[in-house]
Amino acid sequence: MSETSGHVGASEHVNAARPRDARPHTTDAGRPVRSQALLDALRTTVVIADGAMGTMLQEHNPTLDDYQQLEGCNEILNVSRPDIIAAIHDVYLETGIDAVETNTFGANWSNLSDYDIEDRIEELARTGAEIARARVEAFEARDGRVRWVLGSMGPGTKLPSLGHTTYANLKSTFAEQALGLIRGGADAFLIETSQDLLQTKSAVNGCKQAIDETGVCLPIFVEVTVETTGTMLMGSEIGAALTALEPLGIDAIGLNCATGPTEMSEHLRHLSKFSHVPVICMPNAGLPQLTKTGASYPLTPEQLATAHEQFVKEFGLGLVGGCCGTTPAHMKAVVDRLRGTPVKARTLEVDPGVASLYQHVSFDQDSAFLAIGERTNANGSRAFRDAMLAENWDDCVDIARARCATGPICSMCASTTSDATVWLT
């Protein structure tokens, strides 16, 4: 931890952290026992997570020195002002929640490279997890009740589907973040506020890379963000997200941010019906209303508790929490309403299909056979391969259009590696 801190209480939080190289107790599969307990809880008793971090940070009014002259870089506070981060975790833990999120939302390449400190991804992720781990263990020591650390992984601002960066760069740098979260003592990865499925995929596979490197198999939770338009920022419907992400072997899927619970309802209904893994939800405190002093969130603590109570009953959620605009008072209301609530069993429907970036298409067949266009395949069509290698995208699209006219599904292969195989419909 940095010597620049010097704030009363900081060393206490640091010293309580687990030894850097201590490996967690694991099951035979390399799954830490604590993480397995979290996974079990998601299927039996509703887990309650914390609320917003950003607004709480602002209330502590960090100085430019606290930010080490990197104004707005919240993750630097993990080393410069761990006492602030610890105090925020404490306020949430006092409400009786079961899990805290680490202050590592922006401990990624996209955010840290804006400050020219992308070489500190692992460090800032690790220190964020260490602070949360220490506070969780302090509360556990009081009453023996297990609490969990969710390693927050935000999307960053550079979207691979828009060509802002490459999948490979994101995957390898998310792996650094995941490595830090493992070393700092997180119990699960929480890939959240996902806007672009290719970015989400890079984060999931980055986590898997870190798991392979360490042998510590943390669960991977994913939350996508569906805008008021009804799709993710890149235009993906919830069905496309589920179809694209579930086969990657994630351990929970859900929604967070952008809207309040009301707007999330129909998307949660879809996940509740079709997701084989637990469904989770961390809404904002309603749709933000712009005021002269900034965004204001209209949902009261009781209203958030009522929404979550309804979701838990109707959709069988395994974990609930809060995003922008939610406060300790909100989480206290949720705890009072839902603490110890059993997870309602869901009746799953099976709908095999494929997804493009935009939508899920079921393998329904009205006619005798399902036509899958194969011409847009770099291995099967010389015309397509030549056009692709020449970066003649208009020709590629023309070939795809011609295929799409013949059937509902068009298989596209742009590489010989399966990693880059995508389905277009």
**Site for Zn ion contains 323 (CB under 5 A):** yes
- Closest to Zn ion by CB, 35 vs 256, is 256
Torsion over CA: 313, 314, 317, 319 (sign): negative
56 binds Zn ion (CB under 5 A): no
Q: Is residue 264 close enough to count as binding Zn ion by CB under 5 A?
A: no
* Interface with Zn ion (CB under 5 A), residue from 46, 178, 179, 257: 257
Stretch that binds Zn ion, among 159-167, 252-260, 266-274, 343-351 (CB under 5 A): 252-260
Residues in the chain: 425
CA torsion sign, 361 to 272 to 253 to 73? positive
Q: Which is nearer to Zn ion, 304 or 409 (CB)?
A: 304
Ramachandran bin of 96, using left for φ above 0, alpha for ψ from -120 to 50, beta for the remaining angles:
left
Structure tokens at 10: 């900081």
| Helices and strands in the chain, H and E counts | 15, 15
Beta bridge partners of 199: none
- Stretch of 70-78, 133-141, 227-235, 319-327 contacting Zn ion, by CB under 5 A: 319-327
- Positions 69 through 98 that interact with Zn ion (CB under 5 A): none
Residue with tokens 């059993």: 342
Asked whether position 357 contacts Zn ion by CB under 5 A, the answer is no
C-alpha–C-alpha distance, residues 255 and 271, integer Å? 10
Total site size for Zn ion, rule CB under 5 A: 4
DSSP string covering 165-213: S-HHHHHHHHHHHHHHHHHHT-SEEEEEEE--HHHHHHHHHHHHHHHHH
CB 255 within 8 Å of CB 283? yes
Provide the minimum distance between the beta carbon of 421 and Zn ion in the complex, in angstroms, as a whole number: 33
Stretch near Zn ion under the rule CB under 5 A, chosen from 24-32, 79-87, 276-284, 379-387:
276-284
DSSP letter for 343, please. P
Closest to Zn ion by CB, 284 or 425 = 284
- Cα–Cα dist 159/141, whole Å: 42
Q: Is residue 324 part of the contact set for Zn ion (CB under 5 A)?
A: yes
Minimum CB separation from Zn ion for residue 102, in Å? 16
Q: Quick one: 217 or 253, whose CB is closer to Zn ion?
A: 253
Phi, psi values for residue 364, rounded to 5°? -75, 145
Minimum CB–partner distance for residue 265 and Zn ion (Å): 17
| Residue 235 CB burial class (10 angstroms; 0-12, 13-18, ≥19) | middle
Q: Of 333, 328, 299, nearest to 59 (Cα)?
A: 328
Tell me the β-bridge partners of 355. 360
Query: Considering the complex, what minimum distance in angstroms separates the CB of residue 363 from Zn ion?
Result: 35
Nearer of residues 120 and 330 to Zn ion, judged by Cβ: 330
Nearer to Zn ion, 78 or 152 (CB): 152
Binding to Zn ion (CB under 5 A): which residues in 279-308? 284
What are the beta bridge partners of residue 100? 149
- Least separation, in Å, of the C-beta of 253 and Zn ion? 17
Stretch that binds Zn ion, among 39-47, 213-221, 321-329, 334-342 (CB under 5 A): 321-329
Stretch that binds Zn ion, among 26-34, 55-63, 261-269, 316-324 (CB under 5 A): 316-324
347 CB neighbour count, 10 Å cutoff: 7
By CB under 5 A, which span of 40-48, 126-134, 194-202, 317-325 interacts with Zn ion? 317-325
253 scored as a contact of Zn ion (CB under 5 A)? no
- Cβ 226 to Zn ion shortest distance, Å: 12
Both tokens of 60, joined, read 């502590």
Q: Is 312 in the site for Zn ion (CB under 5 A)?
A: no
Segment near Zn ion (CB under 5 A); pick from 60-68, 324-332, 342-350, 372-380 = 324-332
Give the residues lining the site for Zn ion (CB under 5 A): 257, 284, 323-324
